[in-house]
Amino acid sequence: MKYLVFSDIHGNVEALRTVLDEIDALRPDLVACLGDVVGYGGSPAECVELVDSRADITVCGNHDYVAAGLGDGDDFNATARIAIEWTRSVLTADHKELIGAYDSLRRHGDCIFAHGSPVDPLAWEYIFTMKDARRALLGTSERIVCVGHTHIPGVISWREDAGARIERSSIIEIEPDRRYLINVGSVGQPRDGISAASFALIDARKGLINMRRIPYDVGSAQERIRENGLPESLASRLALAR
């Protein structure tokens, strides 16, 4: 079983198309999207439609939740709020219905999929620290826990008797007595200083986790943000990846 897992597209269809091309080449058995399909970027409708046609599993992100009208986004900063209001104005009722149907949590085989911490998915908790990671691992039982939300990719492994360890390689061999927390990073708005779209490929048969980056046309994505009158900072941050 080969899983391709991506997250946080944020209305960036240029980045999403690049990842989808890679999916065509890699031919995974299951494609999972960990949410925040919309918000910030200039092409939310296209992203909702593409994710709907290509992902086998999609879980809800905090921006999706507000875009679908399920939440009010009162915890969003000013820029995020401007972007989500614009997003809501350009999405049709059909798009909102698709988004509103995303699950908060999904399981498949040895994997569990959530946007933020799977312990309380609609609380949208970020997993930044080792303590956060431990809590997420202890609160679940699946061998592989896949999350997004922070826009920063990374893998932490856990062994009952030895505790947590940060995995620093981009190709990680799955050890039989360890569990893995994988933050797949962000397709459409990475924040780790690398502008390339981020995703993870998990090959359960070969026992490998492959953390992948793939460059896309950042300039076109920035243009789309500017031509829709969204805040300039949303365009400039794509190149800075902050």
- Which residue ranges make up the site for Zn ion (CB under 5 A)? 8, 36
Handedness of CA 23, 215, 126, 170 (dihedral sign): positive
Q: Which is nearer to Zn ion, 66 or 204 (CB)?
A: 66
Q: Which is nearer to Zn ion, 34 or 156 (CB)?
A: 34
3-class secondary-structure state, position 109: coil
- Minimum CB distance to Zn ion smaller for 116 or for 174: 116
Q: How far is the CB of 14 from Zn ion (least distance, A)?
A: 17
Return d(Cα 95, Cα 201) in angstroms, integer.
Answer: 28
Q: Dihedrals φ, ψ of 146, to 5°?
A: -110, 130
Nearest approach in angstroms of CB 219 to Zn ion is 22
Q: Report the distance separating Cα 99 and Cα 64, nearest Å.
A: 6
> Torsion angle, CA of 220/224/229/234, rounded to 10 degrees?
-60
Q: Is 8 or 14 the residue whose CB approaches Zn ion more closely? A: 8
Residue 194's Cα: distance from chain center in Å? 15
Shortest Cβ contact with Zn ion: which residue?
36
Q: How far is the CB of 155 from Zn ion (least distance, A)?
A: 19
In angstroms, give the least distance from the CB of 44 to Zn ion: 13
